[in-house]
Structure 1
């Protein structure tokens, strides 16, 4: 007791206050993720594909919609420059995030506001506008969260946050699938969009409680010098261009898995939800494994290790030719979850951990733009290929595409991945 009383005035309380502020900030970021996760799970993946099919979209239109979210990432380059001029990142983040939530949620009003022949066009316009806003909001959130979470706890915090939110997403995904099977068509999607709107409003409210953390700005004041910084970083550009090429291949088929299963294999929403839940569960488990490995090995080396796992998940689809459907699909989804969980976590760590702090917004924007451009053309080209081969034998559409893409992934990983994603 005497020792505590004899401490210098203000010393202990400051440490307690600083620790409590950090904990409170991390708590806000975690709570914000809850409505955000429910909102996004119910509007993407199998639910997005199902709603587009309900609206009457073709496979190429579905591919285009799935690709749009990555194309607009190019705008992050402009946002990375403009945030250097902002007096407050927080309120700009709140405004753009709110626009994204409200516009995306408004896609549920399409059947009520437009003639049936214009449903798909109206959806695409609202969806595109929503994700232009999301590009700015996401860029600002990445910038804020990288400053909000202390480097010493970053890996552990994001591991726990991702695990918790993915577990929640799995429950929502399964529940949504069961509900759509019970109430197919317009009735089911109406219920989904009611939940979406409740979560959108809640998410916007919680965003207002984010702290306005100090921003360490770039030393460059003009756009072109700031833009050139990542371009002149040879190691960063080599890695980013390689990962962009990888995502181009991966996105030829992966975003269209729901289309293949719903339209070609006639799988119901509940089964599709179980497949996606199994993928998410193993992705969550992989966060812990990849996080521990990351304590020993570099981000780039571990990124290389994830590539053959993702390629294997694509090749496994070929087993549909000799084995029962569901075991093969579960195996493909589980292995993909293990691989892509590591890929996404390590790519994020690579961007916020292996880049200079002052220039990080432009580095993040350059990575998002290049990988987003590649990921845009992936599902767009994939959807077009499915239209080209519509009269080919069924196996070419159900698993032939996946086999070809899996082989190309292995070739790319062996020929270029081993040279580019190595420790310097």
Structure 2
């Protein structure tokens, strides 16, 4: 009897600790998503233009965020040597957050001719540290969230934090409309710094869980582990190819809408919010489906949805512009929400625990390179077809890429991402 009672008490304590850790991870995500919303997307573009950046400098900023993921290969080896993942996360996370916040100090600390250079310096440094922070957080969260609830938990967490991010997307836009120019960005960065401070405080509440280290002690043998895993490398290579095609057109949607369709910024913001809302709504659904079906199978299901969303731009040939664009953004949000959530679950759930950091780093490096070159080549392709018929520039690229994505998903994708 007493043994049974102690077992129940032990199980209850274990469940309470798990619940507390999940709550901490959720609370930490709230200020993180809010401040990243306010310094990214349309706010990043607007602030850089206010600082005097050129289109080339803007393109560099947008591209560098994925290219630096190659550095995670070395970070995965580095974290095998540290004593505590939590305190490394606290230290590097604090530095990274402060660097992100420092981007807003460029107009206050430097003469105007150095504003853009100062911003780029802080921004690149922040993303260099981000390679360490992202790896440490992914490693921690994979141990914090039990595998049996992983799908539902991330569905609920992503819905909550992205919902608040969408709210601040609205509020930030209203703030800049009310206070244009430097004054508006000053107020925006005050909110950013408050959120950064709150975010840093939450780091200290993360648990310092035991770390199952790799069986390899040298870099090259550790690097070879995921490379020799045929199933993993095929899946990652296929996902990278799919992302490359997607990024040929999706990052350039704003260019098409602004330059070719003559749509105003307010409408584009509403389209982006629509995409985010549908993405949020899909998180919980994909999370529940993940409790019944594997990461691989569901990841494959998202791909035709994303391709069809891109193909739907072809409806512009027969229907009014705005209804088509709202439908295309909504459908893309549903597919993208599932893809991002399931790709993350694939990294932390379908890989060997002891070798997981290097597996995650390899995934990030390969898909990061694909995501880097996609928009660069896509932008060049739009330059090449600038003299072609207008319909080809507005939705012809989307049709061509969408067809290739469908073919890729229904052939190689069906074979590679099948359940093992």
TM range (shorter): over 0.9
Q: Tell whether 2:105 aligns with 1:103.
A: no
Q: In structure 1, what is the Cα distance between the partners aligned to 2:140 and 2:8? A: 28
Cα pair 1:64 1:383 within 8 Å, conserved: no
Instruction: Give the corresponding residue for 1:421.
Output: 417
Question: Shift of the alpha carbon at 1:418?
Answer: 2.4
Deviations 1:56-104 (A, max 9, x none): 4444433322121111111111111111110111111112212221112
Cα pair 2:214 2:354 within 8 Å, conserved: yes
The 5 Å alignment of 1:193-204 reads 193-204=189-200
Q: Give the stretch that moved more between structures: 273-282 or 350-359.
A: 273-282
Instruction: Give the corresponding residue for 1:131.
Output: 127
Question: Shift of the alpha carbon at 1:398?
Answer: 4.1
Cα pair 2:303 2:335 within 8 Å, conserved: yes
Question: Shift of the alpha carbon at 1:326?
Answer: 2.1
Q: Tell whether 2:226 aligns with 1:233.
A: no
Q: 2:289 aligns with which of 286, 293, 301?
A: 293
Cα pair 2:153 2:287 within 8 Å, conserved: no
Cα pair 1:178 1:270 within 8 Å, conserved: no
The 5 Å alignment of 1:151-190 reads 151-190=147-186
Q: Check 1:277–1:303 CA distance in 2 against 1; reply closer, same or farther (3 A cut).
A: same
Deviations 1:362-414 (A, max 9, x none): 11110011001111112233344445556666655544433333233223223
Cα pair 2:151 2:286 within 8 Å, conserved: no
Q: In structure 2, what is the Cα distance between the partners aligned to 1:395 and 1:136? A: 44
Q: In structure 2, what is the Cα distance between the partners aligned to 1:383 and 1:300? A: 31
Q: In structure 2, what is the Cα distance between the partners aligned to 1:344 and 1:205? A: 27
Q: In structure 2, what is the Cα distance between the partners aligned to 1:256 and 1:51? A: 19
Instruction: Give the corresponding residue for 1:271.
Output: 267
Q: In structure 2, what is the Cα distance between the partners aligned to 1:301 and 1:255? A: 26
Q: Check 1:257–1:45 CA distance in 2 against 1; reply closer, same or farther (3 A cut).
A: farther
Q: Give the stretch that moved more between structures: 324-333 or 256-265.
A: 256-265
Instruction: Give the corresponding residue for 2:50.
Output: 54
Q: Tell whether 2:219 aligns with 1:223.
A: yes
RMSD of the alignment, in Å?
2.3
Deviations 1:154-190 (A, max 9, x none): 2221111111111111111122222223333323222
Question: Shift of the alpha carbon at 1:282?
Answer: 1.4
Q: Tell whether 2:15 aligns with 1:15.
A: no
Q: Give the stretch that moved more between structures: 109-118 or 71-80.
A: 109-118
Question: Shift of the alpha carbon at 1:192?
Answer: 1.5
Cα pair 1:49 1:259 within 8 Å, conserved: no
Q: In structure 1, what is the Cα distance between the partners aligned to 2:54 and 2:312? A: 26
Question: Shift of the alpha carbon at 1:37?
Answer: 0.9
Q: Check 1:387–1:198 CA distance in 2 against 1; reply closer, same or farther (3 A cut).
A: farther
Structure 2: state its 5+ residue gaps. Answer: none
Q: In structure 2, what is the Cα distance between the partners aligned to 1:120 and 1:321? A: 41
3-state DSSP class of the match of 1:221?
coil
Instruction: Give the corresponding residue for 2:117.
Output: 121
TM-score, structure 1 as length reference = 0.91
Q: Check 1:261–1:111 CA distance in 2 against 1; reply closer, same or farther (3 A cut).
A: farther
Cα pair 2:278 2:334 within 8 Å, conserved: yes
Q: Check 1:198–1:95 CA distance in 2 against 1; reply closer, same or farther (3 A cut).
A: same
Q: Tell whether 2:36 aligns with 1:43.
A: no
Instruction: Give the corresponding residue for 2:88.
Output: 92
3-state DSSP class of the match of 1:85?
coil
Q: Tell whether 2:33 aligns with 1:33.
A: no
Q: Give the stretch that moved more between structures: 204-213 or 406-415.
A: 406-415
Q: Give the stretch that moved more between structures: 255-264 or 129-138.
A: 255-264
3-state DSSP class of the match of 2:80?
helix
Q: In structure 2, what is the Cα distance between the partners aligned to 1:388 and 1:192? A: 38
Q: In structure 1, what is the Cα distance between the partners aligned to 2:21 and 2:315? A: 47
Q: Check 1:32–1:370 CA distance in 2 against 1; reply closer, same or farther (3 A cut).
A: same
Q: Tell whether 2:370 aligns with 1:374.
A: yes
Q: Give the stretch that moved more between structures: 54-63 or 330-339.
A: 54-63
Q: Tell whether 2:307 aligns with 1:311.
A: yes
Question: Shift of the alpha carbon at 1:353?
Answer: 1.1
Q: In structure 2, what is the Cα distance between the partners aligned to 1:374 and 1:26? A: 32
